[in-house]
Chain A
Amino acid sequence: MYTLGRYPRPGMWTALRCRWVRVIASVLPMTNTGGYEERDVVVRLTDVRKDFGDYAALDGVSLEIGAGESVAVMGPSGSGKSTLLNMVSGLDRPSTGSVVVGGEDLVGLDEKGLALFRRRRIGMIFQFFNLLDDLPALDNIALAGQLIGLKASAARKRALELMGELGIADRKNIYPASLSGGERQRVATARALMNQPSLLLADEPTGALDSRSGDQVTQLLTDLNQLGQTLLIVTHDPRLAARCARRIVEVADGRIARDRAMDHAVATEATR
């Protein structure tokens, strides 16, 4: 079992959560999403189709994810789960259908608009971390803050706070090549959280980690969700899904085959 150590300090997460609420609240009035219930929906995919030539990677996918939810997208290779993640993150556009995330209709955004959306609304964690090799851990995290206009000193200060909360403050000057897999993923997580995103996306976050590091990251994601962070995780790993997610979306042949709440008994079984 992952021991929290210095993480999380309850006060800090409360403050963080409050900030996220403030951020979301500050953004929502600018959108066309209407009333209070609409604000609760962070992700809404409506009849999304994505074609690659003759091949339909997604075919009529509709999905809603509410604020604070933790959803795991599962399915075999080639089922379309990564394409689904790309739609939600704005890294790719649907052939037809609509994608609304955090109140923003991504289909109507140009490349710059999508970039600004990613910068402000989402955080992403990847299987292979995707850290910049020539920046130390602290600067890798601060980078995200600097992109939204924070001064270097302010970004580094906030990055250091996050590193402290994630228990890696002593690794701030270490370059990615010298960090363990678990440490790298925690640096990547800190970077994803840097701009207080309304949605945290994780693509096989434990796929490249040993079991101990994988457990640590799983616990981290679980804790984040418990603190109110909306999570969308793409994974093959049933243990990760069972421990982090309260809802499982199974994708097969580009369609949502099953969308169900995590059964407590199944989860317990899976985590054994």
Chain B
Amino acid sequence: MSAVWRASRAAVKRRRLQTFVLGVVVMVSSAMAIATLGLLAAVSGPFDQAYDAANGAHVVAEFDSSKATAAQIAQAANAPGLEAVAGPYPEAALHSPSETGDHPVGLPGSFTVVGRDRPDTPVDTLELSAGRWATGPGEIVMNAPSAIGPPQSESERAVVTPDGVKLKIVGYATSASQSAGGWVTPDQARALHSDSLQMMYRFKEAGSDSALKAGMSAATKGLPSDALTGTSSYLAIKANLAKGPNTYVPFLTVFGVLGLVVSVLIVGNVVSGAVVSGFRHIGVLKALGFTPNQVTAVYLVMVTVPATIGCALGSVIGGLVGGKLVRQAFFGIFGNDLVIDKATIPTWVYPVVLIGMPALVALSALVPAMRARRLPAAVAISAGSVQQTGRGLAVQRRLGGSRLPRPVSLGLGWPFARPGRTALTLSTVVLGVMTVTMALGLSASVVKFGQLETQTDKIQVRIDLNDPKWNPPGPTHSDDQVFALLRSLPGTEHVYAETALETRMTGSSGIVRMGAESGDTTELHPDLVRGRWIEGPNEVVVSSEFWHQHKASLGDTITLDSSEGPQPQKIVGESTGGWDVTTLDWNRFTPLSPVQRAQSFYVQLAKGTDPQAYAAAVGRTDPGLHATVNGASDTIEKVIISVVSTLTLMLITVSSLGVFNTVVLNTRERRKDLGMLKSLGMTPRQVIAMVVTSMTVLGAFGGLVGVPLGVLAHRIIIPMTGHGTGLDLPNSLLHVWNWPMVALLAFSGSVIAALGAYLPARGAAKAPVAEVLRTE
């Protein structure tokens, strides 16, 4: 073994540059693999950990207390298949409560309070992040992340119901099951006119919707059929939380796979090159008595050792960058500290990559290594001096007769001399161009998505109304006066007002986020995925998230709490983003809003109007109006674009290294040719031109093939991303290409190739030739 080790070490020393390239390529690919696998694992990992730790409910059920008693519900819950239950607890709805104190809690418009006497129940064990549990009348514990808890728990803050009942906030807790907006004592819940009972279940089999459905039918057996009024599945919560990482998973997976493929291609190229250029070396080894297996081992060790070092370094980098990315993936959208704390790259990812990557490298080196193994010693030794014939000669001859400058025509002929190497290099360039194309497409789609979300193409100025309670001074104008004021300003084209609120939906235990709008929404409404915009009363448009979560269809009727009680609303359209539900029934729903009036106004300006000047003019008319120019990019978009850009840069680097490696191999093999050409008077610049041309032609071809592949990948990834995040994306997100852009992308192949070829070309141009010309 020591002989193999010594021979391998000598081979590595002879190819320091290629060994370095190999190590860097494997390092980059390993980092990408760690990040990708880490994120894939994190999609379900942290949630499952957090959920299990908190004994999260698989199903939170709501029963009509007039149809089933607490005893009946508890009795039915003795059914087989149940792991644990908690409840039943009295449950009441708080319709548009107000709050007191020095800072807003971010109180929802309407929410559920549950009467629980303790937080550490067998199901949905609550974690108090601040304060204490509610133990007496007039006390409430709010469901809120710890980030806003402690400072508020120290001051006098309270929730005041419309009936005037004051509930002092004594603590903050986080429910993994998201079972309620707040908790009070059971007696307090009953005093708040509780008309339903909450029961929480954990099942032994809970992996799918059908398993949960079966479990629930067992757990409610014997109860009146109409007693169960609503359920919430943990799978929906999990899907909701997974949306963050799911935004990244499709494109990260593609980038990861591309990285691995490029690595394999480059490793194959490096080892093939080593075998081809080391024929004589192989012959000498065999003449010395190396067995075929030992020769194979020499070539495998030669690449596996640098690959292992590169992989180890890549794993460290991947762990650091990937860990940050995983936390960002969860935080970027939800900011849910319950999950973020546990969102890390699982430990198993590291050994998988640390073993898998070098194994993959060794596997890709095996084919050329086997070639070395099969080579007879005599042939190997003589092969070192035998001139290659028959490869691409006709092409070279035709090029020799062309009108092209001779260095260019000679360079054009190079790729045909080594078809195998050319194919591997071409594949690397194709993947590089594909990556650039896909990345640009993704970024363009993300930007377009941001425009759709913020409607920057339609709305130029947003005016937020100060809340006099928390952010004085409040506006001096009423909603109608603000409308009139804005319409009177020069440049105003269309205006609409919006207020955000939270309400409850019959049949669902969760809250519904609603946007009530008024004004010129016909002109300014967002693009719809399906259906139409609201045309009459009792019609709503729902978001994709709501659409999928509630398996909605056009024409469905949902019943929402309004200031006048439950109101049936017909779904007439679906929008990609926005509120769960958008309504134009301003008077009926706005009273549920914390401010009970418009929170924001959106203005479309006439062409040529300066948004900055307009915003300043609005501010001068009423200090309670805070006008800003619409167009700020979303954080998640910035994160996605920066991640995509980083990965693209990494893959371009790797692709360029692939080209670099090929050019190094070519120039070393042709060092005698280069020396001769220089002795004939080829200038350094002509040598560079010749070498760069040899790769640029591959780059041009790679561009032509890579661009359509990149466009195809983009067309696959965008819908996958939409699906992963539970959004139906409009087709317009795919239409981001234009001819100049495509032409530029096709040119990117040549740029990648030229980038990779330039340095070794310069090296070849500068290399001393005198010695080479005299030796054989």
What is the interface of chain A, defined by CB distance below 8 A to chain B?
Answer: 82, 86, 89, 91-92, 111-112, 115-120, 124, 126-128, 130-136, 139, 142-144, 146-148, 151-153, 156, 175-178, 191, 195, 203-204, 208
Contacts and interface: CB of A to CB of B under 8 A. Distances in A.
6 residue pairs, one from A and one from B, having the closest CB atoms: A119-B681, A130-B676, A146-B406, A115-B683, A177-B387, A118-B681
Contacts of A117: 681
B680 A143 contact: yes
A112 B402 contact: no
Contacts of A191: 680
B680 A147 contact: yes
B17 interface: no
Interface stretch (B76-84, B252-260, B766-774): B766-774
29 contacts: A82-B770, A91-B769, A92-B770, A111-B765, A112-B685, A115-B681, A115-B684, A118-B678, A124-B680, A124-B773, A126-B679, A128-B775, A130-B675, A130-B676, A132-B677, A134-B392, A134-B393, A134-B413, A135-B397, A147-B406, A147-B686, A152-B400, A152-B401, A152-B403, A175-B389, A175-B393, A176-B387, A177-B387, A204-B774
B565 to A, nearest CB: 88
Given A128-B776, A132-B673, A116 B681 contact: yes
Contact of A133 (B387, B397, B402, B774): B387
Nearest to A115: B683
A132 B417 CA distance: 12
A184 to B, nearest CB: 10
B107 interface: no
A153 B401 contact: yes
Interface string B416-444: 01000000000000000000000000000
Contact of B406 (A118, A143, A178): A143
B8 interface: no
Of B413, B676, B765, most buried by chain A (CB within 10 Å of CB) is: B676
A134 B679 contact: no
A86 B680 contact: no
B383 to A, nearest CB: 13
Given A127-B774, A134-B396, A143-B400, 19 more contacts: A86-B770, A91-B678, A91-B770, A111-B683, A112-B683, A115-B678, A115-B682, A115-B684, A126-B773, A128-B774, A134-B413, A135-B396, A135-B400, A147-B680, A147-B681, A152-B403, A191-B680, A203-B774, A208-B776
B768 to A, nearest CB: 7
Interface in B372-410: 386-389, 391-393, 396-397, 400-403, 406
B400 A119 contact: no
B672 interface: yes
Contacts of A124: 679-680, 773
Contacts of B680: 118-119, 124, 143-144, 147, 191
A126 B774 contact: yes
Contacts of B775: 128
Contacts of A86: 770
Interface string B662-675: 00000000001101
Of B393, B401, B679, most buried by chain A (CB within 10 Å of CB) is: B679
B396 A112 contact: no
Contacts of B393: 134, 136, 175
Nearest to B676: A130
Interface string B319-343: 0000000000000000000000000
A153 B417 CA distance: 24
Contacts of A148: 681
A89 B686 CA distance: 19
B387 A130 contact: no
Contacts of A139: 396-397, 400
A118 B776 contact: no
Contacts of A128: 773-776
A103 B401 CA distance: 34
Nearest to A234: B774
Nearest to B673: A132
A136 B397 contact: yes
Given A112-B684, A139-B397, A203 B387 contact: no
Contacts of B770: 82, 86, 91-92
Interface residues of B, number: 39
Interface in B613-639: none
A45 to B, nearest CB: 16
Contacts of A127: 774, 776
Of B387, B406, B681, B770, most buried by chain A (CB within 10 Å of CB) is: B681
A106 to B, nearest CB: 13
A38 to B, nearest CB: 24
Contacts of A116: 681, 683
A91 B768 CA distance: 8
A109 B400 CA distance: 30
Contact of A91 (B392, B403, B406, B679): B679
A220 B403 CA distance: 33
Interface in B132-149: none
Nearest to A86: B770
A133 B393 CA distance: 9
Contacts of B676: 126, 130-132
Contacts of B397: 135-136, 139
A142 B401 CA distance: 10
Nearest to B765: A111
B501 to A, nearest CB: 76
B681 A120 contact: yes
Contacts of A118: 678-681
A235 to B, nearest CB: 12
A227 B15 CA distance: 49
A89 B479 CA distance: 91
A110 B387 CA distance: 33
B684 to A, nearest CB: 5
A133 B388 CA distance: 7
A136 B413 CA distance: 14
A204 B773 CA distance: 11
Nearest to B679: A124
A108 B677 CA distance: 22
A128 B766 CA distance: 22
Contact of B391 (A112, A134, A146, A153): A134
Nearest to B678: A115
A82 B681 CA distance: 19
Given A82-B774, A91-B769, A134-B393, A147 B400 contact: no
A79 B683 CA distance: 30
Contacts of B403: 151-152
A177 B769 CA distance: 22
B768 A92 contact: yes
A156 B402 CA distance: 12
B389 A130 contact: no
Contacts of A115: 678, 681-684, 686
Nearest to B401: A152
B516 to A, nearest CB: 76
Nearest to A192: B680
Nearest to B391: A134
Contacts of B768: 91-92
A134 B417 contact: yes
A266 B768 CA distance: 38
Of A133, A156, A178, A191, most buried by chain B (CB within 10 Å of CB) is: A133
Interface string B643-664: 0000000000000000000000
A152 to B, nearest CB: 5
Contacts of B400: 135, 139, 142-143, 152
A136 B392 CA distance: 12
Of A82, A134, A146, A203, most buried by chain B (CB within 10 Å of CB) is: A134
A150 B391 CA distance: 27
B684 A130 contact: no
Contacts of B406: 143, 146-147
Contacts of A208: 776
Contacts of B673: 130, 132-133
A118 B392 CA distance: 29
Nearest to A111: B684
